[in-house]
Structure 1
């Protein structure tokens, strides 16, 4: 199909203006020429995109779907052109990589190395974010790509899973549950829960066991600002926390014991980007992450199987 960029831009302009005369003026083309382009596009696609009458122009359901796709294609193309021109001028392309504590765990360094090997001309900026922003900068467009931990709100994001690891309960070594080899969700429902401050309800509900509570929320929450603060709260016996099993390797504390939780789903680490912002650099980073994930199967198995008590 001859879906060239000129026709896509013409369609997007008409769809946004819903008026052929105004759209033709914005595109600096004759209205007759614009109508012909849209008709050719509809012929190529085999379905009407617009409903025309003497009084108004409206998008058909197919047109609404195609508008989303056309905008994404044009945005990606424009970003690629800008990046290519920047590199051609000798400017160094920069990729802003966001992450929250732990990033992609033991896969982080291999992924960064693989990306650097594939795109040696690019400069990587690493930005760490607190639990307040589980999107690691993607929601506010301050990063281009990020290591995020699911579940969290992924509206407008495209994600590629790297691994899923078990969840554990962090409890004070003086707590009665600290002597247990394993616990179940019911053992934790009456306990105060430490949770990082965030407006992301999907993230908040998962790490407070909300789906297992009749009220939907814990009777007592201790909100924290960082991983280290959360660990200290747990060590002091002020609350327990629900956390990935990697906390035993990345946040050990002599006053905290991490106990596996039976009957609770694991947490998935993924590489993510805004769904309408797949630039060549971002695509290269995602491919590097997939390459390392598939190549380092032993590391992935270790991460996904790390469910023993500690």
Structure 2
């Protein structure tokens, strides 16, 4: 590659997006630009560097050897560029994954953070699962997410930071004519003999399935086998109506038509929700996000663990590491 006197960070950002997506349409959507404009930027960068950065065919896009060589440098330049802008109050939007539109913990933190940092743009995303979101965090496609940090693979945890936010009580979603639906609370012992859906087979949410496995162990509760991945409330409701399988959730999970949400008790199982981000993240909106999480946790008592609450041993380590 030749060495130009100047490289527009926008061109490098376009390159990194295509290099990570290996798909021009997805990369354009990620950057909120037209695909034609993205292709022009890539061609311009290749001209300025005097090298082909991608191997293109009608079926696929792959990095060339020169593209592979450029990628780590481009990432470092963009990270430094973002840090510089953040230091002078010109940051890009902070992308915050709330996991699912119906969950309240992350949404309340985000809303409070927007109040604390009205001059910065904090934008919600919905990626449905911390394991999937972790890959997006490390790839720079997200900045922060919420979920069960202890359930992540250790290799992922080593590259991320976290802040405990809430011991979130768990619940079960039942068809409204289920034998347990008339109860206001469902003792765990009452689920003995039941098969409960907990995301088995969903590559986005293995941390949730692991939590269910630990909770159900020795209690005679089975985890439902993998089901077709339902995207959106309508599909989730359709699959549930067909299988009639109880679903493990949290107490704030929104009830869908034909279902009821019942808290689990005796003991109260808890999901430790953390705010999670990639190490080294610098953004003025992110400071507000952390402050918002701490303020709400304190005001709402989110981190006061109930005496009768249950959490796996792994969660104790997460809490101790944060102290």
TM-score per shorter chain, which class? 0.5 to 0.7
1:178–1:96 distance in 2 versus 1, CA, 3 Å: same
Q: What is the 5 A alignment of 1:38-187? A: 79=79, 82-85=82-85, 88=88, 91-102=90-101, 105=104, 108-109=107-108, 111-131=109-129, 133=131, 135=133, 137-149=136-148, 152-153=151-152, 155=157, 156-187=159-190
Deviations along 1:171-214, whole A, 9 cap, x unmatched? 22222222344444344353233233225533222235565159
- CA-to-aligned-CA distance 1:154-173 (integer Å, 9 cap, x gap): 61322212221211122222
Please name the residue that 2:252 is paired with.
246
* C-alpha spacing 1:150/1:216, structure 2 compared with 1 (3 Å): farther
**Structure 2, unaligned runs of 5 or more:** 1-74, 310-323
Q: How many matched pairs?
A: 226
- In the alignment, is the contact (CA less than 8 A) between 1:170 and 1:240 conserved in 2? yes
Where structure 1 has 5 or more consecutive residues not aligned to the other structure, the ranges are: 1-74
Q: 2:207 aligns with which of 202, 210, 213?
A: 202
**8 A contact 2:101–2:126 mirrored in 1:** no
1:253-268 superposed matches below 5 A? 253-263=257-267, 265-268=269-272
Report if the CA contact (8 A) 1:146-1:273 is conserved: yes
Q: Contact 2:255–2:261 (CA<8 Å) still a contact in 1?
A: no
TM-score, normalized by length of structure 1? 0.56
Over the residues paired in the alignment, what is the CA RMSD in angstroms? 4.2
| Distance apart, 1:138 and its partner CA | 2.3
Instruction: Give 1:115 shift.
Output: 3.0
Q: Distance in 2 between matches of 1:260 and 1:215?
A: 15
Change (3 A) 1:234 1:216: closer
Deviations 1:107-159 (A, max 9, x none): 734x3354334434422222111248553632543111123345531613222
Is the CA contact 2:96–2:122 (under 8 Å) kept in the aligned structure 1? yes
CA contact (8 A) 1:194 1:233 kept: no
Q: Which residue of 2 is the match for residue 51 of structure 1? A: none
TM-score by length of 2: 0.54
* Whole-Å separation in 1 of the counterparts to 2:215 and 2:193: 12
Counterpart contact for 1:79–1:279, Cα < 8 Å: no
Checking the alignment, whether the CA contact within 8 Å between 1:107 and 1:292 is kept in structure 2 is: no
Q: CA offsets, 1:198-245, max 9 Å, x none?
A: 255332222355651599973644353346244444444521111101
Q: 1:150 to 1:182 in 2, by over 3 A?
A: farther
Shift of 1:273: 0.6
Distance 1:213 1:139 in 2: 36
Q: Would the alpha carbon gap of residues 189 and 171 (structure 1) be closer, same or farther in structure 2, given more than 3 Å must change?
A: same
Take 1:227 and 1:212, find their aligned partners in 2: how far apart are those partners?
30
